[in-house]
Structure 1
Amino acid sequence: MGMFVLLLGLFVWSEESLVAHAFPRSPLAAALQGAVQNARRCPPLSDVASLSFAEQPRIVVRDDEQFACKRLIECDVMTSPPETNVYWFVNKQLVHSVAQRDITLEGNPEQTILGVSQTRHRFCLDPFLKPNQENTVSCRVQSSCKSDVIIESPPLVTMGPSHNSPLTKYSPQAPLITLVTATRMEIAGQFVQLFCHATGKPKPNIEWMVLDDADESKVYPISDFKDFIYVLDGGDVLINTAATDRASITLQCNASNEDGYDAAESSLIILAPNDSQS
Structure 2
Amino acid sequence: MSLLSSYYPRISKLRNNSVYAGKTCNVTSAAAPTIAVSTVSRLELVGTPVQLMCRASGVPKPKVTWQRITDDDGVEEIDTESHMVLSNGDLLVVADPWVVTESYRCTARNPNGSASADSTVVFVDQN
Q: TM-score, normalised by structure 2?
A: 0.76
| Structure 2 residue matching 1:252: 3-state secondary structure | strand
Is 1:208 matched with 2:66? yes
Structure 1's unaligned 5+ residue stretches are 1-165
Judging by fraction of residues, say which structure has more helix. 1
- How far 1:169 sits from its partner (Å)? 5.5
| CA–CA separation in structure 2 for the residues paired with 1:258 and 1:212 | 27
Pick from 50, 56, 80: which aligns with 1:192?
50
What fraction of aligned residue pairs are identical, expressed as a percent? 33
Structure 2's unaligned 5+ residue stretches are 1-14, 17-25
- How far 1:245 sits from its partner (Å)? 1.5
Which one scores higher on RCO, CA 8 angstroms, separation ≥ 6?
A: 2
Is 1:230 matched with 2:88? no
**RMSD across aligned positions (CA):** 1.7
| CA–CA separation in structure 2 for the residues paired with 1:244 and 1:229 | 14
Residue in structure 2 matched with residue 138 of structure 1 by the alignment: none
How many residue pairs get aligned? The number is 104
Q: Contact between 1:181 and 1:194, CA under 8 Å: does it hold in 2? A: yes
| CA–CA separation in structure 1 for the residues paired with 2:101 and 2:27 | 41
| CA–CA separation in structure 2 for the residues paired with 1:253 and 1:194 | 9
Pick from 101, 113, 117: which aligns with 1:248?
101
| CA–CA separation in structure 2 for the residues paired with 1:201 and 1:177 | 13
Where in structure 1 do 4 or more consecutive aligned residues deviate above 2 Å? 166-169
Residue in structure 2 matched with residue 174 of structure 1 by the alignment: 32
Aligned amino acid, residue 76 of structure 2? Y
- How far 1:260 sits from its partner (Å)? 1.1
Residue in structure 2 matched with residue 220 of structure 1 by the alignment: 76
